[in-house]
Amino acid sequence: MSSFTIFHNPRCSKSRQALQILQQNNYDHEIVLYLDIELNAPLIEDILKKLDLSPRELLRKGEIDYKDNDLGDIEHSDQDIVNFMIKFPKLIERPIVIKGNRAVVGRPPERIKELL
């Protein structure tokens, strides 16, 4: 069995679909309800490294917190963006599925198969 971690939002259909893929294939997995935990910079930076993405690439641009904080402004540093993710975790694209040192954003959910 492979061990996966899914940063999951049960209210998100794509996140539910990704979790279902893990469950249907009997993959050992840990569910992290990232909206319910206290996020920190080292955790987010580790996830970004595994995703091979910049902080901006992981933002949900349609969220009200994105607009209210003018996160499209290039004056915000990567560290600023990470700090906004900590303060407003809904800004983080989901689901994120991690296996070892690799991760994918499960959009579409079938992308998690890249980790197999």
Task: For 68-105, write each residue's pLDDT tens digit.
Answer: 999 999 999 999 999 999 999 999 999 999 999 999 99
Fold of 1-34+94-116: Glutaredoxin (3.40.30)
Q: How high is the pLDDT of residue 1?
A: 44
Distance, first Cα to last Cα, the chain: 11
Instruction: List the beta bridge partners of residue 97.
Output: 6, 104
Beta-sheet strands, E only, within 65-116:
96-99, 102-105
The question of whether 56 is a catalytic residue gets the answer no
| pLDDT at 2 exceeding the cut of 80 | no
Measured distance CA(79)–CA(47) in Å, rounded = 14
Distance CA 110, CA 61 (A): 22
CA distance 41 to 107: 23
Query: Given 1, 2, 9, 12, which residue is catalytic?
Result: 12
Q: What is the pTM of this model?
A: 0.93
Q: What percentage of the chain carries pLDDT values higher than 70? A: 98
- pLDDT for 15-29, tens place per residue? 999 999 999 999 999
- For helices 78-87 and 41-51, the axis angle rounded to 10 degrees is 120
Secondary structure letter of residue 94 according to DSSP = S
**Cα gap 116→100, rounded to integer Å:** 11
> Could you tell me the residue ranges of all domains in the chain?
1-34+94-116, 38-91
